[in-house]
Chains A and B, each alone.
Chain A
């Protein structure tokens, strides 16, 4: 999708009809819209999201906030004249796979005497300009748009720069939603649906097979059906829990937003925020320490053998007797010296001399060592193993201590947070006490839901074991009639196909993730400044498409990076996603960023200006005057990538004019 234009009619601050045309030519893909705070940059962002997806609220809006999309001046004028209501409208014209489309959404609004505004969606029209066809059914239009860019990942392409870094710390439940969107974008969902279809067919076949079976076979099939139904039920429960968790996250976000207004008045709120951040970091460290302990499992059998090794060594020592001098000279040479009665230094000696006796004793020791060579070798190997085990024991001790320390840290932080929570529930400020009470309840609910999820996962493991046993039992039972045989064969083929589909999905997803990791790392390193490049080794994309950053020692490092670096990390992942989905061609998708440079350092910003135009097909930037100074303007001019430049100018209250200017004359 390439956005060609956005037309606004009485929408937010934009009184009357105003139009933005976006740069989309090959070498001028950047559009810059400059506006001071409050001039309507977010209004343009809202218009784009409303136009394309029909969303009347952005994620950052509080759910109980009353937000009017229709222009206040237009509503006031209507109220003062004939009170017939105002039609506000957004039209987005765009190209998709070479074809031109437009989508138009309008709202009808009217204001009463008390200034209350009633606003409802009036119509939506999607037009295929080439074929002169239109769709006016809202559900169908939304489905159609969803096929172009899955609504679950639209936040990756249309976003508020200040909030983009939250993609790196989305909670489990949000990640679930996001990862489904990414799977769609990367075509993995297509294979998942194919697997679902085969699963459904297999279930039907099992039921049919049961009808044609008798005795033990029928019983085992009944068991199979029950196991599968239980598995399905667990997945449904998991889905509901994830939805509940997702709702909890939104409630928590709202509570936090309200609590933020008390910041500065009550130091405990900031203290709790700080403690919770520390807790998150410590929990990650504890998890990492636990993983290292788990990795140690493979060494444990050696430790069990430690006593046996000591005992074998003692037995060998007893057998070999007292330690003997190390003989580094060969028996043949000693024999020769004794025969010639000539010392190795050239002097002669007699057979009753001290030199003769010394050589004789050396001859005995060398001979002894030769006889027992195998025992000496065994002893040396056992000593090596004992050394290895002792070394591992020290390491294990160290890891255990580290884990205990981290656990203790986590416990201490939890206790501190608990103490702050107690204070915050008893501030005697009614609203605040209620908010904190609610916050704690949501936290409890969240913990319970996560625990339930864990239990369901354990049940799933058990059911899968039962499924395997059941399958084995069915294979061993004899097949009777012809129809029965055919159905068993069909069942087996479907079983094999589902297994193969699983392998295919795993392989394909692993390939895609590894490509995403490689490109995210490459992009992240390019965008980071020198100190960041030194500290960070790579970006890791987890199975649920959440992100982790590894430092030079390959340790998780995400909790330690700055807000600006998190923003850069999110951008690196978004661009990697566009690169993977687009392949060798640039993904035909705009990057629409509201206030993108707020948290970025000068170096990060410069790198971004260099990088983004090379990896996306259209870049639309809504910037403040603080973000877009003379140096940024000069950079854009020298690169020659800006196709369109607009300034948002406020002429009177509630009215913003969109003024097209030349970048050179600003």
Chain B
């Protein structure tokens, strides 16, 4: 479905204007949420782990996208 492609393009275009950490958090969250059948709580736990990793990496000076 083209609308999915359109959404992906829009997301990519938009995140380019963001700070690196926000950019990575947003992309990771959208990617994780694609697992449609999981509850908000379960998805939040997954995103939480990713956010901790992103912040840790950024303190070290490198960002793992």
Residues of A participating in the B interface, judged by any CB pair closer than 8 Å: 147, 185-187, 190-191, 193-194, 196-198, 200-201, 204, 486, 489-490, 493-494, 496-497, 500-501, 503-504, 507-508, 511, 580-585, 587
Q: List 6 A-B contacts (CB under 8 A).
A: A197-B29, A489-B55, A493-B25, A496-B21, A504-B11, A508-B7
For B36, give the chain A residue with the smallest CB separation. Answer: A147
Q: Within the assembled complex, what's the spacing in Å between the Cα atoms of A587 and B41?
A: 33
Question: C-beta contact mask, B1-38 vs A, less than 8 Å → 1, else 0?
Answer: 11111110011001100110110011001101110100
Q: Are B41 and A200 in contact (CB under 8 A)?
A: yes
- Residues of chain B contacted by A583 (CB below 8 angstroms): 1-3, 5-6
Q: Within the assembled complex, what's the spacing in Å between the Cα atoms of A580 and B15?
A: 23
User: In this assembly, does B52 line the interface, its C-beta being within 8 Å of a C-beta of chain A?
Assistant: yes
Q: Which residue in A197, A486, A493, A508 is a CB contact (below 8 Å) of B32?
A: A197
Q: Within the assembled complex, what's the spacing in Å between the Cα atoms of A185 and B6?
A: 13
Q: Are A493 and B55 in contact (CB under 8 A)?
A: yes
Q: Are A204 and B48 in contact (CB under 8 A)?
A: yes
Q: Are B44 and A204 in contact (CB under 8 A)?
A: yes
Number of A-B contacts (CB under 8 A): 93
Q: Within the assembled complex, what's the spacing in Å between the Cα atoms of A598 and B52?
A: 61
Q: Which residue in B2, B10, B22, B40 is a CB contact (below 8 Å) of A496?
A: B22
For A580, give the chain B residue with the smallest CB separation. Answer: B3
Which of B15, B18, B22, B41 has the most chain A CB atoms inside 10 A of its CB? B22
- Residues of chain B contacted by A504 (CB below 8 angstroms): 10-11, 14, 26
A197-B43 contact, Cβ under 8 Å, with A497-B22, A507-B10, A583-B2: yes
Other A-B pairs beyond A490-B55, A581-B2, 18, CB < 8 Å: A187-B3, A193-B40, A193-B43, A194-B26, A197-B33, A197-B40, A197-B43, A204-B48, A486-B55, A489-B55, A490-B52, A493-B21, A493-B51, A497-B26, A500-B14, A500-B22, A504-B10, A507-B10
- Residues of chain A contacted by B1 (CB below 8 angstroms): 187, 581-583, 587
Q: Within the assembled complex, what's the spacing in Å between the Cα atoms of A500 and B22?
A: 8
Q: How near does chain A come to B34, taking the closest CB pair, in angstroms?
A: 7
Q: Within the assembled complex, what's the spacing in Å between the Cα atoms of A254 and B32?
A: 44
Question: C-beta contact mask, B38-60 vs A, less than 8 Å → 1, else 0?
Answer: 00110110011001101100000
Q: How near does chain A come to B20, taking the closest CB pair, in angstroms?
A: 11
Q: Are A191 and B44 in contact (CB under 8 A)?
A: no
Q: How near does chain B come to A210, taking the closest CB pair, in angstroms?
A: 17
A-B interface, 5 closest residue pairs, ranked by CB to CB distance from nearest: A583-B2, A200-B44, A194-B33, A497-B25, A201-B44
A187-B4 contact, Cβ under 8 Å, with A501-B26, A507-B14: yes
Q: Are A194 and B30 in contact (CB under 8 A)?
A: yes
Residues of B participating in the A interface, judged by any CB pair closer than 8 Å: 1-7, 10-11, 14-15, 18-19, 21-22, 25-26, 29-30, 32-34, 36, 40-41, 43-44, 47-48, 51-52, 54-55
- Residues of chain A contacted by B54 (CB below 8 angstroms): 493
Q: Are A496 and B48 in contact (CB under 8 A)?
A: no
- Residues of chain B contacted by A197 (CB below 8 angstroms): 29, 32-33, 40, 43-44, 47
Q: Within the assembled complex, what's the spacing in Å between the Cα atoms of A346 and B53?
A: 97
Q: How near does chain B come to A117, taking the closest CB pair, in angstroms?
A: 38
Q: Are A198 and B2 in contact (CB under 8 A)?
A: no
A584-B2 contact, Cβ under 8 Å, with A201-B48, A490-B55, A497-B25: yes
Q: Are A508 and B25 in contact (CB under 8 A)?
A: no
Q: Are A503 and B30 in contact (CB under 8 A)?
A: no
Q: Within the assembled complex, what's the spacing in Å between the Cα atoms of A496 and B54?
A: 14
Q: Are B22 and A493 in contact (CB under 8 A)?
A: yes
Q: Within the assembled complex, what's the spacing in Å between the Cα atoms of A454 and B30?
A: 33
Q: Are A497 and B29 in contact (CB under 8 A)?
A: yes
A490-B30 contact, Cβ under 8 Å, with A197-B43, A200-B41, A583-B6: no
- Residues of chain B contacted by A496 (CB below 8 angstroms): 19, 21-22
Q: Within the assembled complex, what's the spacing in Å between the Cα atoms of A198 and B50?
A: 12
Q: Within the assembled complex, what's the spacing in Å between the Cα atoms of A490 and B48?
A: 10
Q: Within the assembled complex, what's the spacing in Å between the Cα atoms of A489 and B26?
A: 16
Q: How near does chain B come to A540, taking the closest CB pair, in angstroms?
A: 21
A196-B40 contact, Cβ under 8 Å, with A201-B48, A496-B19, A497-B25: yes
- Residues of chain B contacted by A500 (CB below 8 angstroms): 14-15, 18, 22, 26
- Residues of chain A contacted by B6 (CB below 8 angstroms): 583
Q: Within the assembled complex, what's the spacing in Å between the Cα atoms of A194 and B52?
A: 17
Q: Within the assembled complex, what's the spacing in Å between the Cα atoms of A486 and B55?
A: 9
- Residues of chain B contacted by A582 (CB below 8 angstroms): 1-3
A581-B30 contact, Cβ under 8 Å, with A197-B40, A198-B47, A500-B18: no
Q: Are B2 and A585 in contact (CB under 8 A)?
A: yes
A503-B47 contact, Cβ under 8 Å, with A197-B40, A493-B25: no
Q: Within the assembled complex, what's the spacing in Å between the Cα atoms of A627 and B15?
A: 53
Q: Which residue in B7, B11, B51 is a CB contact (below 8 Å) of A494?
A: B51
Q: Within the assembled complex, what's the spacing in Å between the Cα atoms of A581 and B52?
A: 36
Q: Are B47 and A187 in contact (CB under 8 A)?
A: no
Q: Are A190 and B30 in contact (CB under 8 A)?
A: yes
Q: How near does chain B come to A430, taking the closest CB pair, in angstroms?
A: 51
Q: Are A508 and B22 in contact (CB under 8 A)?
A: no
Q: Within the assembled complex, what's the spacing in Å between the Cα atoms of A382 and B19?
A: 50
For A202, give the chain B residue with the smallest CB separation. Answer: B44
Q: How near does chain A come to B59, taking the closest CB pair, in angstroms?
A: 9
For A504, give the chain B residue with the smallest CB separation. Answer: B14
Q: Within the assembled complex, what's the spacing in Å between the Cα atoms of A585 and B34?
A: 23
Q: How near does chain A come to B54, taking the closest CB pair, in angstroms?
A: 8
Q: Are B25 and A187 in contact (CB under 8 A)?
A: no
For A201, give the chain B residue with the smallest CB separation. Answer: B44
- Residues of chain B contacted by A489 (CB below 8 angstroms): 55
Q: Are B33 and A193 in contact (CB under 8 A)?
A: yes
- Residues of chain A contacted by B25 (CB below 8 angstroms): 198, 493-494, 497
